[in-house]
Structure 1
Amino acid sequence: MAHDGDVVAELTDDHREVADLFQRFESAMPGSPDRKRLVDALTIALVRHEVAEEQHLYPAVREHLAEGETLADKALAAHRRVELLLKELERREPADLDFDRLVVKLRTEVTAHVADEERQLLPRLRDGVHPHVLENLGKKVREAKRTAPTRPHPAAPSTPPANKLLAPGLGLVDRVRDVVSGRGR
């Protein structure tokens, strides 16, 4: 989703979009192509969101918040777990025996991470960072999501400057693959 809000509003809206995709997955017929399409949509949304957070949110958390290093490291560890699950799901079809089990694990991991961000990290950011900085971070996050990868790359770096250098190239390759394969339509 494209927004004009600050970083907290932008990321919170992303969280709602992902929750909606999980709900739609649950409503889809088990083993159906709709479930694969929804997992692809979830993957695209989660990867873009995570890349943007890794490039801009967590460096700001490290810079502006007490215990920022710990908060950012905890979030990056959660991202790593999510990315590994997404990579496993990428290799699966909805009829595979472990497809739904992996989606349940993914939902559990994402839900816990979102709850932690929305209860702890984002309120502390809102309280401890000037609104102008939050607005600027929102713009940076939106731009990062436009060029971010759409597929999981667990071996890619998750911290600046390497992630900022590699993500746009990976994103370009992913978007070409998506166009050729029809993924994400």
Structure 2
Amino acid sequence: MGHGGNVVDELTTDHREVEELFGKIEALPPGHKDRKMYADQVTMELVRHSVAEEMYLYPAVREHVANGAALADKELEDHAEAEQIMKDLEHREADDAGFDRLMGMLMSEIRAHVADEEQNLFPRLAEACPPEALDKLGDQVRKAKKTAPTRPHPAAPDTPPLNKLMGPGAGLVDRMRDALSGRGKSG
């Protein structure tokens, strides 16, 4: 979280980190307790990443990219689907019957979303925006990830201005819950 560079570099690095966590989950046998820890880490990263995209990336896409509103709306639909899967996964342990099914659904959804962003949305945004604007967006995304929620909130607003008002408060509560519970840590 918080790697530096323009918005495309920042978000692409996030994608690689999530894929690395997916690999750790896939390398463990079904039912292994560490699969839950990695799933929690994936969820924490994906929620922060998604909130930052919803706050800054998608509004920029709407503003600068031809047909940007339709692109942003599709990305928000992807986020909503992934967030619901993460919410369903949140209360399941690695040995629960539905854990592997939900994890597989999440991996599939996220991998398709990442491929679409990296092959379609990011190049179009990079072409439409001057480098300074991409750098500023990168800074905004990094700041947003620091205060963003770490747990899925499917009913929360996903477009400005309400997401910018509610996200930091939910993020504070989530981080306190994570610290108290040890969520996402090996134990």
TM-score range, shorter chain: over 0.9
Q: Secondary structure at 2:4's aligned position in 1?
A: coil
Distance 2:184 2:168 in 1: 18
Q: Equivalent residue for 1:110?
A: 110
Q: Equivalent residue for 1:51?
A: 51
Give the alignment's TM-score, normalised by structure 1.
Answer: 0.99
- Tell me which amino acid in the other structure corresponds to 1:110: I
Distance 2:164 2:33 in 1: 34
- Tell me which amino acid in the other structure corresponds to 2:37: R
Q: Equivalent residue for 2:120?
A: 120
**Contact kept in structure 1, 2:47 and 2:151, CA below 8 Å:** yes
**Contact kept in structure 1, 2:33 and 2:95, CA below 8 Å:** no
Identical counterparts, % of pairs: 59
1:184 deviates by 2.3
Give the alignment's TM-score, normalised by structure 2.
Answer: 0.98
Unaligned runs of 5+ in 2: none
1:5-154 matches, cutoff 5 A: 5-154=5-154
Q: Equivalent residue for 2:155?
A: 155
Q: Equivalent residue for 2:183?
A: 183
- Tell me which amino acid in the other structure corresponds to 1:159: T
Regions of 4+ moved over 4 Å = none
Distance 1:183 1:31 in 2: 18
1:29 deviates by 2.5
| CA RMSD between the two structures | 0.6
- Tell me which amino acid in the other structure corresponds to 1:137: L
- Tell me which amino acid in the other structure corresponds to 1:98: G
Distance 2:28 2:165 in 1: 38
1:98 deviates by 1.1
- Tell me which amino acid in the other structure corresponds to 1:15: H
